[in-house]
Amino acid sequence: MTRTSMTKTVPLLLGVALTIGLAACASSPDSGTSAAGTSGSGAAARAETGGGDAASVDAPVVALKVASDAVLKEDYATLAQLAASPNVRLIVSGTVVEATPVYQEQVAYTKLTVKVTKSSSSSVAVGSTVVVYRDGGQIPLSQVLPDLKPDQAAMLPASAPANAVVDFQFMEAEQSAVGDEIVAFLRPDPNPGRAGAYQLVSSVHGLLKLDRKAGKYHRLGHAERPGYEASVSTAAAEEYTRRRS
């Protein structure tokens, strides 16, 4: 596998430091690497390691992977510290019913539509939906292609299928997918054109996904430091949605 690197500037509104180093790697054209996109989470990584379930036949094919990291403006070791942030205006638990890739100014997001099962605010009713933008996503290759540098374009398969995507991973966080059961720590999204939507406080570290087998929620994104709360029981995670009711 070939690797290269580039640098990207992202909006401070995301709570991310100005400059992020990006590393991109591409599988060989005949590797068969694929990802589940909005129909399943993390299938690309499982395919590379040989573990997990096989990706569905109609899953998008990952033509290029881009991994990025950053120093977050808000970074909390524990969920209690995160929940105490004055920027957290809403905490919800719910199920992802839509996961739509968004590519703006060479930055990848995923627009999540979440059906709420518990809410910390009476203004967001159980059974309603909220829109949440998170960092990272699987973007159609056709949208990213004009922005690729020559060395990156050279890493692409000789013949990419119509459903080929570029997999943008932020802080090693797995992609979100329809059916994910989540807890999200949110603030109103201040970006133009996103009135009524939310963004995660502490980026992907502010998003928990239920691991059904383990019976726990785990925080997205890498966590290689002492004292970092990477997982929490179902009851403890959902308790945060009740504290501000």
pLDDT in tens, 144-167: 999 998 988 888 988 888 899 999
Separation between Cα atoms, residue 136 and residue 68, nearest integer Å: 9
Q: How many domains does the chain have?
A: 1
Q: What is the pLDDT of residue 23?
A: 36
Which candidate, 205, 202, 204, 208, places its Cα nearest to that of 184?
208
77 DSSP assignment: S
In our burial notation (b when 16+ CB lie closer than 10 A, e otherwise), range 188-198 reads ebeeeebeebb
Looking at the domain assignment, is residue 169 inside a domain?
A: yes
Tell me the average pLDDT across 121-129: 95
pLDDT band at 244 (very low <50, low <70, confident <90, very high): low
- pLDDT of 174 > 60? The answer is yes
pLDDT band at 120 (very low <50, low <70, confident <90, very high): very high
Looking at the domain assignment, is residue 245 inside a domain?
A: no
191 DSSP assignment: S
- pLDDT of 123 > 90? The answer is yes
Residues linked to residue 107 through DSSP beta bridges, in sequence order: 104
Instruction: Name the residue range of residue 60's domain.
Output: 2-239
Query: Strands, E, within 105-171: which ranges?
Result: 107-119, 129-135, 137-140, 164-170
Looking at the domain assignment, is residue 244 inside a domain?
A: no
Give the range among 52-56, 174-178, 233-237 with minimum mean pLDDT: 52-56
Looking at the domain assignment, is residue 128 inside a domain?
A: yes
Q: What is the pLDDT of residue 242?
A: 84
Looking at the domain assignment, is residue 7 inside a domain?
A: yes
Q: What is the pLDDT of residue 223?
A: 77
Count how many Cα atoms sit within 13 Å of the Cα of residue 68 in the half-sphere of its side chain: 30
In the chain, % of residues over pLDDT 90: 64
On whether the CB atoms of residues 62 and 138 are closer than 8 A, the answer is yes
Instruction: Please tell me the pTM assigned to this model.
Output: 0.78
Looking at the domain assignment, is residue 36 inside a domain?
A: yes
Q: What is the pLDDT of residue 32?
A: 32
- pLDDT of 42 > 80? The answer is no
